Amino acid sequence: MNKNKEQIQAEWLKKADLLTETLPFMKRYANKVIVVKFGGNAMGKKEYVSSFAEDIVLLQQVGMLPIVVHGGGPQIGEMLSKLKIKTEFIDGLRVTDSETIDVVEMVLSGVTNKSIVTAISNAGAKAVGISGKDGNLITAKRLMKIDENSDSNVERAIDLGFVGVPKKIDTQVIKALINEKMIPVIAPVGMGEDGLTYNINADTATGAISAAMKASRMIMLTDVSGVLDEKGKLIPELTINEALDLIKNKVVVGGMIPKLRTCIDAVEGGAEASVIMDGRMPHSLLLELFTEHGVGTIIRKNDN
Ligand code: ADP
Ligand code: MG
């Protein structure tokens, strides 16, 4: 009986400790913009989405201003094969023709976007799903990729079709939503000055929005624990120069290249810091924001 009481007391103390540890972090981020990219791969299972939504709602409840940008590569691929639309790939990059861009927009702005909105709504907050087209949020320009395998001295530009990069960000629509305590959920589709629809890499879109919003944190949720060194060990902190070296030395390859570049660009463009971390671990967002050392890789400016 006595022991039980002690046990209960110990549990209370542990809980109180936890609360006092987290309070300074809640204060630090009160009214601060946190942009979270929820990757297509991190979205793989239904429980990842609902646990992500719960965390986002909690961030808002403790006073942060969360903004969600999502990917959807795997979901687009599934729908294209269901509809038997064949797509061409150049150097692993999908060529997006006019038939494909319709499917891209349908899947991203429709199914994927609304599934996240639904999950956040179920978790108890108001989410509003928009794409980069709404309120002129993202004006896109066509991406021309330079062919690195071209053997001539003249660089060859590869046309990937309706794939764009953000040219201009108009934050008015996001600001209006967060002022009303609503959570913007953004599909990475933008409109060009030519009035056409462009698919934008979700990492790139997240970076541009984070910089324009001068976010306190840009968090990239993916399917690895963060940036790994040559031995496969997590690197907890990186300066811009260190991050650039990792790309140059090919320690970072594949999908991690645009992700890390985006982190660098966002920090250089005005975001305070960027984080790359695993989105499949339950409540990883809370651990990252509410503990001193975080759980992923944080990228900051060189001199702080
Ligand atoms: P997302 O859908 O979240 O954008 P990507 O597949 O595009 O995910 O990018 C993450 C992937 O990058 C990881 O799963 C991993 O295979 C790859 N990667 C390449 N180099 C590294 C590295 N040095 N550290 C961590 N991941 C790396
Ligand atoms: Mg990717």
Using a 6 Å cutoff on CB, does residue 146 contact ligand 1? no
Model confidence at 175, pLDDT cuts 50, 70, 90, reads very high
Other CB atoms within a 10 A radius of the CB of residue 147 amount to: 13
The answer to whether 169 and 175 have CB atoms below 8 angstroms apart is: no
Coil, helix or strand for 133? coil
**Model confidence pLDDT, tens digit, residues 278-304:** 988 888 898 889 888 788 999 998 754
Indicate whether residue 222 lines ligand 1 (CB < 6 A).
yes
What is the per-residue pLDDT for 28? 85
Confidence bin at 229 (pLDDT 50/70/90): very high
Q: How far is CA 35 from the centre of its chain?
A: 7
Contact of 185 with 120, CB cutoff 8 Å: yes
CA of 146 to the centre of ligand 2 (A): 19
Q: Is the CB of 188 under 6 A from ligand 1?
A: no
Query: What pLDDT band is residue 93 in, cutting at 50, 70 and 90?
Result: confident
Q: For residues 97 and 3, give the distance between their C-alpha atoms in angstroms, rounded to a whole number.
A: 70
Structure tokens at 22: 């987290």
Instruction: Supply 80's token pair.
Output: 């294209």
Q: Are 100 and 162 in contact (CB under 8 A)?
A: yes
In this predicted structure, the answer to whether residue 1 has a pLDDT above a threshold of 80 is no
Residue 297 CA to residue 234 CA, distance in Å, equals 7
**pTM beyond 0.85, yes or no:** yes
Q: How far apart are CA 126 and CA 301, in angstroms?
A: 34
Backbone angle region of 288, left / alpha / beta, with phi > 0 → left and psi within -120 to 50 → alpha: alpha
